[in-house]
Structure formats: C-alpha cells, structure tokens
Amino acid sequence: MRAVLKLGALAAAASLISAGGALGQTTAPEAAKAPAAEQPNQVQAVTITAQRMEAINTFVAQTSRPNRFQRQIARWDRNICSTVLGLPEKHAQYMNDRLAVNAINVGLTPGQPGCYSNILIMVAPDADNFVAEVVKKHGSAFGKYFDVGGVTTNGRKALKAWVETPMPVRWWHISETASTDGIGTTSGGNFAVHRASRIRPDTRQVFARVIIIVDAERAKGVSYQALCDYISMVALAQIAPTEGPKAVPSILNLWVDRDAGKPLPTGMTQWDQDYLHALYNSAPDARDAKHQREEMIQDMKKAAAKEPKAPK
C-alpha cells in the first residue's frame, strides 16, 4: 500500500503537466509484418532458419535486463492499472486502451476505472527539466531511498543517468520479490515460503510499478499508435534502455528508424509480440534470469517455426 500512495502522490504532483496537444495522429490498428524472405531452394531455407534462430538468441539477450540483485526478469503478476497525464482526454484514453489490449494479449487483467495506478505515463513538453524536478521532489517513488527489503531498482547511479540522458521515452522499473502465490513485499511485508528447492526458488520477481516519461518534442514524427505500442512494450517488459535491436524488425527500433529515415512500424511487430508472449509463458519461478531467457528463446523459436513459409 505504501507504494500505491507514493505513486498517487507523484501523479498528483505531475498532473500540472501541459503537453501542448497530441503527439501524433491516432491511426486505426494495423498489423506490422516483416517482409517474407525468398526461398528458391531447400539449402537457402535452412540457412535462413539458422539465421532466424541466432537472431532470436541475440534479440532476447539484448532486450531483457533485470534490475540489479534480481535473480529473475520481472514482469507483471496479474493486474495492471495505468494512468496517462499530460495529454488531451481522448488521446490519454486511447493510450490506456492500447496498453490494455496489449496486456490482455499476454494474459494480464487491466484495472477498472478508478483503480490504483501501478503504471504512470507522463507526457511533458520539456522532459529533461521535468524529470530532474520530479525525481528531486519524489525520489521515494523511484525507489531512490529504499532499494532494500525485496524492492529493487537499478540503483541511484542508474537513476542519475536516467535523469541526465535525453530520450523520446524514458522508463523506470521498480520490482519486488513476491511469493509463488503473488504476495509481494510492498503488499504486506512478510510472506510464507512453502517449499525449498535448489532447482526452483519459492519466490519470483514482479513489477511493483513502472514510471514512463515521454518528451513531447522528441517523440514527434511517428504515428500515435506506434508510440502507444512502444510505451506498451516498455511498460509490460523489463526492457534494457538501448537504442533497439537493429538486426530485427521491432517497435523498439522506432526512434533509430525514424532518425534514419527508414519505414516505421505502425505498432508492435511479430517479434515484439512473440517476445512478450515468451516472457509471460516462461516459468515465474525460474531458477535465474539465464534459465528464464533460455525458456523464452525456446518459446520464440517454436513460434517462429509455426509462421507461414514464404512461397517458393
């Protein structure tokens, strides 16, 4: 409950943001598909498959990053509740709805109106000054002072770099240790351990909350749906703050592709969807992040094998 109250206080303070209008035009949902590779003979088909398998290994390794001290990659347990500040009502509602759809697709349950927010998305016309000020005044909401007792972030040094690094979208994950039945350290303090095993731990890492800051100026030049799906990706998964996995088509390449003048995705690609499904299909009590990634890689490879083959 303490975390909820702190996030609520942060939302109240941030509600004074004025983003100066929408970031882009809302477009109808449209599936983004990677071009099918030509397969003139069986030898080339095997080569392409091997390349795809290696690309999956790299994609999972580059994309996922646990918080420090975590044994596993964190994710949401059951429910999410998002709040969007700094946008006109209809654009905020669209972003909330788009995030809800993407959450439902991986088995999560979006909260009803009036739920306690655990995903806070704030849009600011000058994100650099806003981030510096909000972290200074509400450092506890970012886990700055209590990176103990099962609640983890990437620490003060990473938070300082997060504040000082200009990006179109910045995200900050706060995770906690939870029991196998979903009781977390911020939900009630202590919980019972039901089994002891060297193969499977009795705890798992879950998100306590996620804070996302959008720079209204730097985020221009992309479709609004693409922006919403980018935000969904970093809200639902513990994504490393990199420029994106350039070797494969991904919504995470949105800003790199925009700046390079390349065609832009209109939403999550099949790679992104497969990654999220693999994350939420992996065992919640995996031994460690390494084993969790291995499960995710196998899941993504199975998904790739089921994709329609290109005509000869």
- Per-residue tens of pLDDT for the chain, all 312 residues: 333 435 665 666 565 554 443 333 333 333 333 333 333 344 444 444 788 888 999 999 888 877 666 677 889 988 999 999 999 999 999 999 999 999 999 999 999 888 989 999 999 999 999 999 999 988 888 877 665 556 788 888 889 999 999 999 999 999 888 765 554 544 444 444 444 445 455 677 889 999 999 999 999 999 999 999 999 999 999 998 776 777 889 999 999 999 999 999 999 999 999 999 999 998 877 778 888 899 999 999 998 888 766 544
Instruction: Decide if 197 is inside a domain.
Output: yes
- Give the per-residue pLDDT at 204: 77
Range of the structural domain that residue 271 is part of: 2-16+55-306
Q: What is the rounded CA–CA span in Å between residue 141 and residue 64?
A: 23
Is 311 part of a structural domain of the chain? no
Residue 66 in tokens? 């646990």
| Angle between helical axes of 224-236 and 270-281 (0-180°, round to 10) | 20
- Long-range (24+ apart) CB contacts under 8 A made by 13-16 are 13/134, 13/137, 13/138, 14/85, 14/86, 14/120, 14/122, 14/134, 15/85
Dihedral sign for Cα atoms in the order 271, 274, 216, 221: positive
Give the model's pLDDT for residue 179. Answer: 66
132 within a domain of the structure (yes/no):
yes
Burial class (CB in 10 A: 0-12, 13-18, 19+), 294: middle
Cα radius of gyration (the chain): 20
Residue 292 inside a domain? The answer is: yes
Q: Is residue 38 part of a domain?
A: no
Residue 41 lies in a domain: no
Domain-embedded: residue 29: no
How confident is the model at residue 146, as a pLDDT?
Answer: 60
Q: Which residue has the tokens 């991904």?
A: 250
**Would you state the pLDDT for residue 28?**
30
Residue 209 lies in a domain: yes
Confidence (pLDDT) at 38: 36
Quote the number of domains for the chain.
1
What is the structure's pLDDT at 92?
95
Q: What is the pLDDT of residue 25?
A: 30
